[in-house]
Chains A and B, each alone.
Chain A
Amino acid sequence: MLAAAVSADASDNPWFSWNYLQTNGDDLLIAAREHVEITFVSILLALLVAVPLVLLVRRWPRSQVPVLAFSGVLYTIPSLALIAGLWPVFGLTPWTVIVALAMYALLVILRNILVGLDSINEELIDAARGLGYTSRQTLWRVRLPIAIPTIMAGIRIATVSTVGLVTVGALVGHGGFGSVIFNGFVNNFYHAQILAGTVCVVVLALLLEGLLVLVERMLTPWVRVAK
């Protein structure tokens, strides 16, 4: 029955095949692991770079324009070009993809942290000052909690776009599901493999998006109470 359905495909190259999933399930799991690891480390790296830059900008507000302009330029360069440009530095390792995607994610994360910390009702700052908070206490206990939704939105958007861009890492053989898709393409347009990889990326992006929405809710319980 199934075999009949499969061979009914004119080119005998179906877009969906149980056989493919059964024999290549392990490869998909390995790809999933690489995809998640590259995404996670990229975002972590972008955050690690963003935090000192945020402190710099808050200390010397004049540095905001050059810092944002620089990360804007990085954001403008296509991911394929970043990956190719870093290949001579890191070789055919996942780090080529990780560093390129961290550079790419930096702008969204940095901008959302800065905007989040700034978009605060001045009366709250006055109230904190009136309670005797120092400016450091105000930053950690007032500005930061209020900025969490904006910061988390930045992380969420950066994560979802990074999940998509990891696929381009197929250029250097570390694209997670992107490598699955690309290998299927090179292997005589193996439809079942190409579509399986594609569906997996989309599902992963949606899963991480949902997960980060939940994390954001957990971090800001007062938002729900207020509603």
Chain B
Amino acid sequence: MTDNSIIAWFTDSENWSGSSGVPARLVEHLAICAWAMGMALVIAIPLGIWLGHINRFGILVTSIANLGRAIPTFALLIVLASWDAIGVSDLAAIIALAVFAVPPILTNAFIGVRDVDRDCTDSARGMGMRPAEVLRLVELPLAVPVMAAGIRTSTVQVVATATLAAFVGGGGLGRLVVDGFGRQDYALMLAGVILVAALCIVVELLMAWVQRTLTPAGLRIQPQVAA
């Protein structure tokens, strides 16, 4: 193995075409993430908004968040992949990642709507808005920054964790890492490491920009400390 091998790998056109080329693996990776995020959003956003609006079951939301954090995605992935009903596939990865993505989205949607200033909702009600209008015209717009922060956290984590799909026979950029490791092909593995790291950093920057864009200037929140 020489230092040139990794450069040689990246400049070899073989590695950029076909079903195991970088573009194909990247598309697989993003498809897994998109399905997982889609499932998580469809479940967590309406549920979080509704629970935040009625301001109840806060303990349920916290418990889901804590339990979700305690279940390792790796373990869940393997449980799902070895379950006959799902099997070794991208589906196992998609479900595991969706489960993993729900807690931050749910928590932030819940908190975002619940913590809207009482004065604002009271004024809206005083102006004669119906509950549905209060939700749509007051609570939701004010909750957008917090919800966007949750979606950003989930997206970045999902794109990073999707590399694990390769462990259970799924596709994505993790394939390069796991196959490279399995074949003791150092250049392939390192190429996978570099590509995966680069993708995650790009997605992180992109989502930071999306979050900023979605947040009205007057509502920009300070970076929050984990607690």
Q: Contact residues of A with B, CB < 8 Å?
A: 11, 72-73, 76-81, 84-85, 87-88, 108, 111-112, 115-116, 119, 150, 153-154, 157, 160-161, 163-165, 167-168, 170-171, 175, 177-178, 181-182, 184-185, 189, 191, 194-195, 197-198, 201-202, 205-206, 209
Which residues of B from 63 to 95 have beta carbons under 8 Å from A? Answer: 66, 69-76, 78-79, 81-82, 84
Chain B residue at minimal CB-CB distance from A197: B75
* B177 engages A84 (CB within 8 Å): yes
Chain A residue at minimal CB-CB distance from B224: A115
Q: 0/1 per residue, B93-117, Cβ < 8 Å to A?
A: 0000000000000000000000000
* A81 engages B75 (CB within 8 Å): no
Chain B residue at minimal CB-CB distance from A193: B82
Count the A-B residue pairs with Cβ separation under 8 angstroms: how many? 130
* B163 engages A108 (CB within 8 Å): no
- Which residues of chain A have C-beta atoms less than 8 A from B181's C-beta? 84, 87, 171
- Which residues of chain A have C-beta atoms less than 8 A from B81's C-beta? 185
28 pairs, CB–CB < 8 Å, chain A vs chain B? A76-B201, A78-B174, A79-B160, A80-B178, A81-B163, A81-B177, A81-B196, A84-B177, A84-B180, A84-B189, A84-B190, A111-B225, A115-B225, A153-B227, A160-B69, A164-B69, A164-B71, A164-B72, A164-B73, A168-B164, A171-B178, A177-B75, A182-B78, A185-B81, A189-B82, A194-B79, A198-B75, A198-B79
B156 within 8 A of A: yes
Q: Interface residue tally of chain B, by bracket?
A: 35 or more
* Contact with B70, one of A80, A81, A164 (Cβ below 8 angstroms): A164
- Which residues of chain A have C-beta atoms less than 8 A from B66's C-beta? 209
* A84 engages B160 (CB within 8 Å): no
- Known contacts: A76-B200, A185-B78. The answer to whether A209 contacts B70 by CB under 8 A is yes
* B226 engages A153 (CB within 8 Å): yes
Distance from A144 Cβ to chain B, minimum over Cβ atoms (Å): 16
Chain B residue at minimal CB-CB distance from A78: B160
